[in-house]
Amino acid sequence: MGADFIVRTGWTSVRLTTLDGQPVDWNAIYEPMQPGEVCEMDVLVEHSGRRRKGRGKPLLRARLILKRKDAKATEKAQKVARRGISDAAVTTHCSR
């Protein structure tokens, strides 16, 4: 039995490891990929929990599907990220 689920998330939102328990090497995955190219791999999803007591204990096996953005999409995402960082800095500054 299995189930399908789709999650669009940032690379630091969950801890993903290879099937042999090694952290996913994002640079090794993305470096050879061309814009628009898709990469699929099986991973384990871990949950550290409070005080990382659960670290190293995978919750489930999943298929990771990645798509490398083209230059235009990358530029747009970077602008959004910079805006978010800038907004956070202003908020932090104003709350003091």
Residue 74 lies in a domain: no
Q: Looking at the domain assignment, is residue 46 inside a domain?
A: yes
Strand partners, 65: 40
**CB contact at 8 A, 82 and 42:** no
Range of the domain at 57: 15-69
CB 77 within 8 A of CB 70: no
Condensed to tens digits (0 to 9), the pLDDT of residues 11-35 reads 667 788 899 989 899 899 989 999 9
Structure tokens at 30: 């993305």
Structural domain contains residue 95: no
Handedness of CA 20, 21, 27, 30 (dihedral sign): positive
Residue 33 lies in a domain: yes
- The answer to whether residue 2 is domain-embedded is no
Helices assigned H by DSSP within 1-96: 26-30, 71-95
Answer whether residue 32 is part of any domain.
Answer: yes
Number of domains within the chain: 1
Tens of pLDDT, residues 61-96: 888 888 888 999 889 988 888 887 654 444 333 333
- The helix or strand, by DSSP H or E, that contains position 95, with its residue range, turns out to be helix 71-95
Any domain includes 40: yes
87: in domain? no
